[in-house]
C-alpha cells in the first residue's frame, strides 16, 4: 500500500521534483552502462559472459515484474524503471557479442 501511495502522486515531494528524479535515473543509467562496458573490456570471456547474463536477465526480470504489477500503463508504479531498461538490454547484447568474439578462454 505504501509503494502504491507514493507512485500514484500522493506524495507531493516526488511530483514537485519529478525532473530531479528523472535526471537522477538517467545519470545513474549512464554511469552504469559506462562501468559495465569498462568491466567487460578488462575481464576475460567468462567475466563478459557473466556480465551479459546478469544484465540481460535482470532487465528482463524488471520488465516482467513491472508488467505483472502495472500492466502496460506508463503511469503505473514501474514507469520510472522502464527508462533505463532499453539501454541496459542493448549493453547486455553488446557484452554478449564481445564475449562471443573473445579469443581468450
How much is the pLDDT for 67? 76
Q: Is residue 55 a part of any domain in this protein?
A: yes
Q: Is residue 2 a part of any domain in this protein?
A: no
Measured between alpha carbons, how far is 16 from 25 in angstroms, rounded to an integer? 16
Which triple of cell numbers denotes residue 65? Answer: 515484474
Q: Is residue 10 a part of any domain in this protein?
A: no
Q: Is residue 33 a part of any domain in this protein?
A: yes
Measured between alpha carbons, how far is 15 from 61 in angstroms, rounded to an integer? 27
Of 19, 18, 51, 23, nearest to 37 by C-alpha is 51
The secondary element (H helix, E strand) that includes residue 60 is: helix 45-70
pTM for this model (two decimals): 0.63
- Range(s) of the domain holding residue 71: 18-101
Which triple of cell numbers denotes residue 47? Answer: 567475466
Question: Can you tell me the mean pLDDT for 58-85?
Answer: 74
Measured between alpha carbons, how far is 28 from 95 in angstroms, rounded to an integer? 19
Q: How many domains does the chain have?
A: 1
Q: Is residue 12 a part of any domain in this protein?
A: no
Q: Is residue 56 a part of any domain in this protein?
A: yes
Q: Is residue 5 a part of any domain in this protein?
A: no
Is the confidence at residue 31, as pLDDT, over 50?
A: yes
User: Predicted confidence band at 1 (pLDDT cuts at 50, 70, 90)?
Assistant: very low
Amino acid at each position: 500500500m505504501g509503494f502504491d501511495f507514493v507512485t500514484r502522486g500522493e506524495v507531493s515531494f516526488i511530483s514537485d521534483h519529478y525532473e530531479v528524479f528523472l535526471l537522477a535515473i538517467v545519470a545513474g543509467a549512464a554511469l552504469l552502462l559506462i562501468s559495465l562496458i569498462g568491466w567487460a573490456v578488462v575481464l576475460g570471456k567468462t567475466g563478459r559472459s557473466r556480465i551479459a547474463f546478469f544484465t540481460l536477465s535482470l532487465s528482463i526480470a524488471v520488465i516482467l515484474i513491472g508488467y505483472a504489477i502495472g500492466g502496460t500503463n506508463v503511469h503505473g508504479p514501474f514507469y520510472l524503471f522502464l527508462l533505463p531498461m532499453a539501454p541496459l538490454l542493448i549493453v547486455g547484447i553488446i557484452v554478449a557479442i564481445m564475449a562471443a568474439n573473445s579469443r581468450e578462454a
